Amino acid sequence: MAGPRRDTRGILDAPDLFARVHFRRREPAEPLRPYLEHYWLIDWDLSEPYASHVVPHPSVNIVFQRYGDRPGFGEVAGIGLELFTTKLEGRGRVCGVQFRPGGFRPFAPGRPVSQWTGRRLPLADVFEGGVPEGGVPEGGGSGDPAARVLGPEGEDARVAALDAFLLGLRPEADPQADLAMAIAHRIRTDRTLRRVADVADIAEAEGLSVRGLQRLFAAYVGVSPKWVILRYRIHEALERAATATDVDWAGLAADLGYSDQAHLVRDFTATIGVPPTAYVR
């Protein structure tokens, strides 16, 4: 892992968001890196409310959050199927963990990841072995993991608390998780993989049938291979819309493997809520 990702894929109008909040990504401890994309930390102090919008990645997140003077709390956020909107106001802090697609199951091996898809649940509802107290390696303080993660003013201490919490969950090595992560990574990075049949060819080389591929993704990723392909298509279309001054939508549709521009427009509109040309404006 060559450090956290630097792209803003999935974040709608990222420059506007970053102008209002302090957003950064941090790298986890080395034993956790095979499973995690990165940590993401946000602090804000706003004079007026602001709504942020994100098209979720095919990733499970653990999110510790505190709003104003209310007590902080932690939850597991399964893969979001729709546009995710959060209203930020006053002061607040969020410390999040984004897992690699397929990387969450070793931390909660008792149930398929599809069980969390589209849901946000308290930590205790997901981790059957109990939630570790976690915290910074050398300090005292509350045994509540949310307090340990959100309390320190120093960013390094918050990262250390996230490391301690996750290591306390004792992730179990699982070759099936490794396989799911590898296939999902290929879908994200290899633009020639445009259909489930293309992914099935990779799975076949690993001894998986199409049905076996579907079961693997349900158990370890939480959504189907087709869903992952479509979501990464939308992420790329969003990035092109945000960075290009004159988008050739027909050409982009062909590049992304759509049969025609109309199908791209349909998927984009269903996900974002407006057609691509309206989003660009």
Instruction: State pLDDT tens for residues 153-169.
Output: 999 999 999 999 999 99
Q: What is the pLDDT of residue 133?
A: 62
**What per-residue confidence (pLDDT) applies to 135?**
43
What is the block-wise mean pLDDT of the chain (281 residues), using blocks of 10 residues? 75 93 97 97 97 96 95 97 95 98 97 97 89 51 83 96 96 95 94 89 91 97 96 91 81 87 92 87 79
The residues of the chain that CATH labels 1.10.10.60 are: 175-280
Q: Is residue 138 packed enough to be buried (19+ CB in 10 Å), middle (13-18) or exposed (0-12)?
A: exposed
Taking the C-alpha atoms of residue 162 and residue 166, their distance in angstroms, rounded to an integer, is 6
- Residue from 82, 79, 77, 119 nearest 223 by CA: 79
Fold of 175-280: Arc Repressor Mutant, subunit A (1.10.10)
pLDDT of residue 120: 97
**What is the spatial order of strands in the sheet that 61-67 belongs to?**
22-26, 36-45, 91-99, 61-67, 73-77, 120-122
Cα atoms in the 13 Å half-sphere on the side-chain side of 142:
12
